Structure formats: C-alpha cells, structure tokens
C-alpha cells in the first residue's frame, strides 16, 4: 500500500539553488522519515521527524511537518551535484502492521 506521495515527481535545478520536495500522507503517523537513494542502491536515512515536532534541521536539510494537513516538506539548501538522487518519504503509521510505508519517490537532478 502507498501512503506517502512525493511532489513533484521530478525536479531539475542548478547547483547552488534550493530544492523543495513535498510529501502528503493519508493516516495518522508516529513519525515521518526522509531517505535518499542513489541509482538503484540502498537507501540512506536523512532525517526523522516525530508527529509532535514541527520542524527539524540537519546540516543543509530542513524538514517540516504539518499533521493537520498530513504533509511534510524537505528543503535542501545550496544544492550540490552530489545531491542528485531519488528522495523518498516514509511514514511510520499509528497502529499499522507495516513497519514503514514509502512513497514512490522523487528524482532530483542537480546540474553543475
């Protein structure tokens, strides 16, 4: 089952620009996590935000969570070519049987 949905599905920007990705979900969550995947490899955990948190920072990453709108956004500031990857949001559902439910992902391309 698909819970999170990233928007846009693809984004192409120039190095140095900021990239914003949005994620919407359907049911109540314990936490929401963002992951990065480079070209068919394993996923790398970026950041976790709990349902009682509204904003979190980690280096060049900023995540917000709006539980009333069931949405989250990931902002990457001062993007680099190395940020080129697919980004996924994943939700840890309240009372869910699935451990994490992932969205279909968003492809970010950062052009040098």
Partner 1 sequence: KAGVTQTPRYLIKTRGQQVTLSCSPISGHRSVSWYQQTPGQGLQFLFEYFSETQRNKGNFPGRFSGRQFSNSRSEMNVSTLELGDSALYLCASMDNSYEQYFGPGTRLTVT
Which residues form the interface with partner 1 (CB under 8 A)? Answer: 1-2, 30-31, 33, 35, 40-45, 48, 88, 90, 92, 97-105
- Bridge partners of 57, per DSSP, are 62
Q: Which is nearer to partner 1, 13 or 100 (CB)?
A: 100
Residue 16 CB, shortest distance to partner 1, in Å, is 29
- The separation between CA 97 and the C-alpha centre of its own chain, rounded to angstroms, equals 21
State the Cα–Cα distance between residues 27 and 21, nearest whole angstrom: 20
* Three-state SS at 108: strand
Q: Minimum distance between the CB of residue 112 and partner 1, rounded to whole angstroms?
A: 26
């Amino acid at each position: 089952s698909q819970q999170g949905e990233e928007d846009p599905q693809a984004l192409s920007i120039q190095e140095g620009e900021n990239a914003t990705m949005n994620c919407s979900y359907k049911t109540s969550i314990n936490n929401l996590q963002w992951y990065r995947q480079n070209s068919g490899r394993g996923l790398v955990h970026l950041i976790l935000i709990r349902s009682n948190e509204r904003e979190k920072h980690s280096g060049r990453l900023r995540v917000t969570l709006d539980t009333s709108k069931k949405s989250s956004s990931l902002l990457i500031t001062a993007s680099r070519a190395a940020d080129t990857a697919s980004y996924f949001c994943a939700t840890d559902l309240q009372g869910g049987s699935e451990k994490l439910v992932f969205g279909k992902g968003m492809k970010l391309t950062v052009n040098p």
